[in-house]
Amino acid sequence: MKKRLYVAYGSNLNLRQMARRCPTAKVFGIGTIKDYQLTFRCVATIEPEIGKEVPVGVWEIQPRDEATLDRYEGYPNLYRKEDIQVTMSDGTEVTAMVYIMNRGLPDYPNASYYRTIEEGYHDCGLDPQYLKGALEDTEMRKKKQ
């Protein structure tokens, strides 16, 4: 079976959620996507933004995990898949698949979804300031609509 690296920046950072959704997925490590920022369109997505970065979890997934993720992420209608460079915590670079929202307007996530992401940040040891910053960014973007 061909394994693939998958980048999580939202609710799929949550270890319990991923264990339910993709039981054969294995944590590969944590890293950063450079020149992108985390934002919300009711659900999490990333957008290009020079000078910003997004902390991520990287999973090693099997084809059946990817098929499950495709369904959960609404691929290809809601999210598209791209390969992206990730700088791992040890400084190495890897290429991994990421889901990026196709379109949508800035909007807040619901409380339950946000808590799931918060738990994922805790699970992975990521700085929650990035998550709080994404909410602040969403608020600014909503005001510009």
Question: In this predicted model, what pLDDT tens digit does every residue of 114-137 receive, in sequence order?
Answer: 999 999 999 999 999 999 999 999
Does the pLDDT value for residue 3 go beyond 90? Answer: no
Phi–psi pair at 17, nearest 5 degrees = -60, -45
Quick one: pLDDT at residue 83? Answer: 98
Does the pLDDT value for residue 103 go beyond 90? Answer: yes
Mean pLDDT of 96-113: 97
Quick one: pLDDT at residue 106? Answer: 95
* pTM of the complete model: 0.96
Quick one: pLDDT at residue 136? Answer: 95
Topology annotation, domain 4-135: Hypothetical upf0131 protein ytfp (3.10.490)
Amino acid at position 35, single letter: D
| 17-51 burial code (b ≥16 CB/10 A, e <16) | bbeebbeebeebbbbbbeebbbbbbebbbbeeeee
Q: Where are the domains of the chain?
A: 4-135
Does the pLDDT value for residue 1 go beyond 80? Answer: no
Phi–psi pair at 73, nearest 5 degrees = -90, 0
pLDDT digits (tens, 9 = 90+) for 5-60: 999 999 999 999 999 999 999 999 999 999 999 999 999 999 999 999 999 999 99
